[in-house]
Amino acid sequence: MVQKQNEMLNGFWRIKWWRYRYAILAGILLNIFLINHFFLDQSISDLNPFPATQYPPPTVPRPKDADAPPAPSGVIVTPPKSSATYNLNDYNFNGQYVGWPLERLCGETKWQEGLVFVCDNNSGGIGNIRNFILTCIRYAIEAGATGITMPQIQRRSETDLANIFTTGFKPLNYFFDEEHFRSSIETYCPQMKIFNTKTDIPNAGKIQEITEFYPKDLNVDTDGCDGRGVNRHLDQFRQKFDQWIRDNKRPSSWEEPTTLRFRWATFFEWPIIRDGPEFAATFGDLLRINKDIEKIAVKTILELQKFAGVQPDGTLITAPYLGVHLRTESDALNFWPDFDTQSDGYIREADTRNMKHAYLASGNATDGHRFGAKAFDKLGLKVTQKMDLLKGEDLKALTDLSWDQQALVDYLVLSKSTHFTGCSFSSFAMNIGIKRHLMTGGINSRPWRSPGDVFSTLVGRFDSWYGDWMFMYECMWP
């Protein structure tokens, strides 16, 4: 068929073109005229042969409650060709901060005066807490909130690890570098102010509070799907949210502000790739680990280098080590891979990669020792932990920290390991794997795929999570 068409065309040009020479000439002249017409009448930047005034939009009836999407406002930021510079060779845990994707998103957002998101009820370990905070901020931007309150962290009970609620709130710097968080938002998303507490909001006495808000509730019309249809809720979130605000008579202004707080637990439900790889890869870097905790991690890696037989020079990490996260603490759920599955998997990784030394993170001391013995027995793999590596003042600095803060030292040391291996169910391990995955393509990295990449391997199958409502791998920002 295609060949036939080609023959016909060839035939046309061979035999007939002379006959149509005047028509062809007229066509060429008209084209030149039209092209010049556009150049003469319009600036090159909005050179659009189909301007809206000439071709009015089709009159497709819109659903009554759906407003036109917010028009992009502000500057369009042109992506520079930079990518994050995170690597495994030095003692820098963060690489370069890339703020333009956030700046671009905030520049495209239609902002709503006096709407403040309260992102405070964040609980669990680092993997969960990062996602609680980031999910809240991402929704805040989507809703056009002109303010957020400074995120806080729920302190976990030291005696009952599953109790993550009753011990009280800690400031953001309990885990994170607060100054970096503040300055990044102030620089790249100045439209959204940070209030230290609710009382710092202008006209705080007149605040109308929305509590227990759940974004997916705006999508109760599941359109023929079963209950899980609400998961397709993001595309029209803004229109539905604006409508909800109007229906509930909560238009906000700085004279009469509105605060909004999510129902617990709103997290792992924003598919990160929706915002494009650049934003997905850089948004999470708002939350960097507290600098004092980073210092303890540096000390730990220096000692670890000695353990692996190298005298460290303090600038480069040269001795290879396998990073292992054994997740069998008492709050582990019963359908997660158990000690045997995990330890077999980790030892297999050490074997495949010919590793002689391993750094182990585990909140379960008994199982930690069991793993060390098993790994040495099976493979001659030498295993160590932070408590064994640090001495004197450094050890005291570590033990002065809470259980979750101590885990941040592990988080950092593991993130710099030659190869990392952990449990597929742990958001802690996932987060390390997903962050290291950025080294595959910088800010253009494509999503993580189980069970891993050249830098990390997760062990055990992630089959389901509470009936399909948490999408951890899809919704975790590195």
Ligand X SMILES: *[C@@H]1O[C@H](CO)[C@@H](O)[C@H](O)[C@H]1NC(C)=O
Chain residues binding ligand X by CB under 6 A are 121, 165, 264, 328-330, 339, 364, 366-367
CB nearer to ligand X: pick between 122 and 184: 122
User: Among 202, 196, 189, which Cα is nearest to 145's?
Assistant: 189
CB nearer to ligand X: pick between 43 and 330: 330
Distance CA 9, CA 5 (A): 6
Q: How far is the CB of 205 from ligand X (least distance, A)?
A: 21
CB nearer to ligand X: pick between 188 and 371: 371
Q: How far is the CB of 337 from ligand X (least distance, A)?
A: 11
CB nearer to ligand X: pick between 122 and 258: 122
Asked if residue 113 lies in contact with residue 143, where contact means CB atoms within 8 angstroms, the answer is no
CB nearer to ligand X: pick between 20 and 214: 214
Asked if residue 213 lies in contact with residue 136, where contact means CB atoms within 8 angstroms, the answer is no
Q: How far is the CB of 330 from ligand X (least distance, A)?
A: 4
Which two tokens mark 16?
Answer: 């007939």
Name residue, tokens 């905030």: 106
- DSSP letter string, 445-459: PPPP-TTB-SSEEEE
Which two tokens mark 196?
Answer: 């230290």
Q: How many CB atoms lie within 10 A of CB 64?
A: 7
Distance CA 395, CA 247 (A): 57
Q: How far is the CB of 217 from ligand X (least distance, A)?
A: 16
Asked if residue 424 lies in contact with residue 65, where contact means CB atoms within 8 angstroms, the answer is no
Distance CA 358, CA 420 (A): 10
Distance CA 23, CA 36 (A): 20
CB nearer to ligand X: pick between 329 and 474: 329
Q: How far is the CB of 366 from ligand X (least distance, A)?
A: 5
Q: How far is the CB of 368 from ligand X (least distance, A)?
A: 9
